[in-house]
Amino acid sequence: MTNTLYCFGESGNAYKAALALELAGVDWTPRFVDFFKGAARSPEFLAINPMGEVPVLDADGTLLTQSGVIQKWVMDTTGALGDADPLEILRWTIFDNQKISGVAGPLRFMMNFLPEDKRNPDVNGFLSGRLKAALGVLEGELTNRDWLAGDTLTCADISCAGYLFYDEPFTFSRTTYPAIDAWLTRISETPGWKHPYDLMQRAFGTS
C-alpha cells in the first residue's frame, strides 16, 4: 500500500496527521505543498482537495482530508492510538479543532508569517485571550491525568498537542503550564516521536 501525505512543516494540522502515521508505524511518504507560494490554491491541488488546505492523505488511491479524519483512519486501520472511549477521543478532537488549533493556528500565522505591516494587534490580542482560556481547560484536565482520553497516548493527545510543539512565538509558553509541559514531554518521549520540522519540509523562507 502506498500512503502519501500532502503537507508542509509549518502546518500544525498536517503535523497531527503525520505524527499519527509515524507513531502508528504506517508506511507513508510526505509530499511537499508550497503553501506560502499558493500551491494549495492551484488547480492541481484543488482537484485533490477542493477545500484548498493540507493535510490530504492519499491512502492507496483513497483521498482523505482533515486531520481528524486522517487520525481516525490511522486508528481504524492500525488499531494504534485509539485505546480509549471513541467518544472521548472525538470530544477532545473537536475541542482542539475549535478551541486550540482553531485559534493557535491563525494566531501563530499572523504573529510569524504574515508581513509585519499586516499584523493586527487587536486581532492577535483577542485570539491570545481565547487561546489562554482553552489552554486553561487543558491544563486543568492534565493536572489530574497523564493522558486526555484514556490510560495511554491516543489521537486525542496528538490532536490537542499539534501546535504546541512549535517554537515560533504565539503567546504560549510551556513554563506557564506545568501540567501541559509534562504532558508534552511524555508525548515527545514516545518512541518514534519527531518534531514537525523533522517529519515534513518547511515552506516559509524557502526560495
CATH 3.50.30.50 is the classification of domain 86-188: no
Report the pLDDT value the prediction gives residue 2, as an integer from 0 to 100.
84
Q: CA–CA separation, 110 vs 46, rounded Å?
A: 24
Q: How far from the centroid of its chain's Cα atoms is residue 28's Cα? A: 17
CA proximity to 83, closest of 127, 25, 24: 24
Within 8 A by CB and 6+ apart from 157, the residues are: 92, 147, 148, 149, 183, 187
Q: Which residues pair with 58 in a beta bridge?
A: 4, 63
Q: What percent of the chain has pLDDT over 90?
A: 98
Q: CA–CA separation, 74 vs 131, rounded Å?
A: 28
Report the pLDDT value the prediction gives residue 206, as an integer from 0 to 100.
64
The pairing of strands 29-32 and 3-7 is: parallel
Q: CA–CA separation, 72 vs 113, rounded Å?
A: 30
Cell reading at 115: 508581513
How far CA 143 is from CA of 2, 70, 120, 152, 164, in Å, comes to 40, 29, 34, 15, 17
Runs of H (alpha helix) within the chain: 12-23, 43-48, 67-78, 86-95, 101-112, 121-143, 155-161, 178-188, 196-199
In this prediction the pTM is 0.97
pLDDT-derived band of residue 205, with 50, 70 and 90 as boundaries?
Answer: confident
- CATH of range 3-80+193-199; options 1.10.10.10, 3.40.30.10, 2.40.400.10, 3.30.465.10: 3.40.30.10
Q: Could you read off the pLDDT of 114-128 as tens digits, one per residue? A: 999 999 999 999 999
Asked if the model's pLDDT at residue 207 lies above 70, the reply is: no
Q: Could you read off the pLDDT of 128-146 as tens digits, one per residue? A: 999 999 999 999 999 999 9
Answer for the pair 24, 193: CB distance below 8 angstroms, yes or no. no
Domain boundaries, the chain: 3-80+193-199, 86-188
Q: What is the mean pLDDT of residues 46-56?
A: 98
CA proximity to 202, closest of 83, 36, 73, 16: 36
Query: Whose grid coordinates read 508505524?
Result: 25
